[in-house]
């Protein structure tokens, strides 16, 4: 289907809708209260996560997309927490802040990883400056290519019909995660993503698959919407259009919590739509992503590394492309088993025989080989604006496929010094005419009891030479 996860960094997406804070109080429940027949939870951890439209935006940011989040919050601590959590992950927040309302907060009491009760703190009727929200949307439309309306029925999208028309007139693609039974509000959107129960609440219960497809198409025709992506839980997903229908089975192996799975699905669809990908390919990625998040507890997101592993049928394996934080935990386990870890780094723009030989030699020095790869931005700083030829995900995918490579991780800086000093591998391998003192991060590794090895590159093999040859300059 797809060789690698697309480079989502080119996507420019607005998310607008109901923003809320998901708060978790977790602990152990080992006795019943003497005051009432209820369990007593000894709270040991408090965690705040972003929910609602904020979770859609967070999923987009986690996968590398550029996202602006519009919504309504109160002038309170919860609103401040939401902004801080989102901006820390690269989400550009522009909220309407109202003094007379409280930010929506859903408090879940957890014991032994089970939800005992949920307490909702929210307004019965959200009162806010609708004109201010319209003005914010109008301001950001020219700077983006796609908009997601995340409707949780809390009132932020009371004027969604006007918002959709404005976005369409500005030339943006419109995706909607709908709520309620009045789909006239979403007329002329490009894609809607109801789940099965939400759809059947609007069109009626389908007697069989053909009836479901017919009812879905009738809804699309009635409201001038080209595409419906139906999420069906354990039955997977179905993409319904005027002529074509595509279905995929569910990808989840273990389902722990479906909270926020729809947010992840529409986030991935929006990223793919923003890149003009075929919708059946977008559904494929969204289905994989949804399968990942339902295997997590609580409101969650998907990383690029998790999505890449899922694409290659290896969601539960810790080999291949990993994040820096994942690698920290992997190192602990590997060292506990007395495995000797080798690390090297580079741009690896056009992989050639010299690279492979070098990596094989590096792997022979220990039990595990980790390859740290320069991000696209750092390659440009090092090699110029015409490089890299291949994007980061493509370069990492090729490296991860090599039998001699165990893990691949990216870094943003021009050198991996910070990464090496954090991870402290047993050996750093560098190719070329370096001394140990010249190798970035080598001093940290040596002080920790490790070493630096210098290997010679294969003569006549280089990315620059390959580029020149391809351009007929040699």
Radius of gyration for the chain, computed over Cα atoms and rounded to the nearest angstrom: 25
Of the candidates 159, 168, 216, 213, which has an alpha carbon nearest to the alpha carbon of residue 188? 168
333: enclosing H helix or E strand: helix 324-336
The phi, psi pair for 245, rounded to 5°, reads -135, 130
| Sign of the CA dihedral with 168 first, then 285, 1, and 248 last | negative
Neighbours of 6 (CB within 10 A): 21
Catalytic-residue membership of 376: no
380: enclosing H helix or E strand: helix 376-383
What b/e string do you get for 313-323 counting C-beta neighbours within 10 Å, with b at 16 or more? eebeebebbbe
Report d(CA 95, CA 331) in Å as an integer.
41
Of the candidates 232, 211, 220, 161, which has an alpha carbon nearest to the alpha carbon of residue 192? 220
Catalytic residue among 177, 263, 406, 426: 263
**Distance separating the N- and C-terminal Cα atoms of the chain:** 36
> Which positions are annotated as active-site residues?
263
């Amino acid at each position: 289907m797809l060789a690698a996860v697309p480079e989502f960094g080119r996507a420019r997406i607005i998310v607008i809708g109901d923003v809320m804070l998901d708060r978790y109080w977790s602990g152990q429940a080992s006795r019943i209260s003497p005051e009432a027949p209820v369990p007593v939870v000894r709270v040991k951890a408090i965690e705040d996560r972003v929910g609602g439209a904020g979770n859609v935006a967070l999923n987009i940011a986690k996968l590398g997309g550029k996202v602006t989040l519009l919504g309504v919050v109160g002038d309170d601590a919860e609103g401040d927490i939401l902004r801080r959590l989102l901006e820390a992950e690269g989400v550009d927040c522009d909220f309407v802040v109202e003094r007379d309302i409280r930010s929506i907060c859903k408090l879940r009491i957890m014991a032994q990883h089970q939800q005992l009760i949920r307490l909702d703190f929210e307004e019965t009727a959200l009162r806010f400056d609708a004109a201010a929200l319209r003005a914010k949307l109008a301001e950001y439309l020219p700077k983006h290519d796609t908009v997601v309306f995340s409707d949780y029925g809390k009132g932020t999208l009371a004027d969604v019909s006007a918002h959709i028309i404005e976005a369409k007139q500005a030339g943006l693609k419109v995706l909607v995660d709908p709520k309620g039974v009045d789909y006239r509000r979403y007329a002329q959107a490009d894609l809607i993503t109801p789940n099965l129960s939400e759809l059947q609440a609007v069109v009626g219960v389908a007697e069989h698959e053909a009836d479901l497809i017919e009812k879905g198409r009738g809804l699309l025709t009635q409201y001038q919407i080209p595409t419906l992506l139906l999420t069906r839980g354990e039955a997977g997903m179905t993409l319904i259009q005027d002529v074509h229908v595509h279905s995929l089975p569910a990808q989840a192996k273990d389902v722990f919590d479906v909270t926020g799975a729809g947010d992840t699905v529409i986030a991935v669809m929006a990223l793919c739509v923003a890149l003009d990908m075929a919708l059946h390919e977008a559904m494929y990625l969204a289905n994989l992503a949804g399968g990942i998040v339902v295997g997590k507890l609580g409101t969650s997101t998907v990383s690029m590394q998790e999505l890449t592993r899922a694409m290659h049928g290896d969601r539960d394996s810790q080999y291949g492309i990993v994040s820096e934080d994942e690698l920290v935990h992997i190192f602990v386990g590997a060292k506990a088993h007395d495995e000797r870890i080798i690390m090297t780094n580079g741009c690896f723009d056009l992989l050639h025989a010299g690279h492979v030989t070098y990596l094989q030699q590096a792997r022979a020095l220990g039990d595990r080989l980790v390859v740290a790869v320069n991000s696209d931005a750092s390659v440009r700083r090092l090699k110029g604006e015409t490089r890299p030829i291949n994007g980061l995900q493509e370069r990492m995918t090729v490296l991860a496929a090599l039998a001699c490579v165990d893990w691949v991780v990216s870094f943003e800086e021009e050198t991996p010094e910070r990464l090496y000093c954090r991870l402290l591998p047993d050996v750093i391998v560098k190719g070329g005419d370096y001394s140990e003192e010249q190798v970035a991060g080598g001093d940290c590794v040596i002080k920790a009891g490790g070493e630096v090895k210098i290997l010679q590159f294969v003569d006549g093999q280089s990315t620059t030479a390959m580029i020149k040859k391809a351009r007929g300059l040699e």
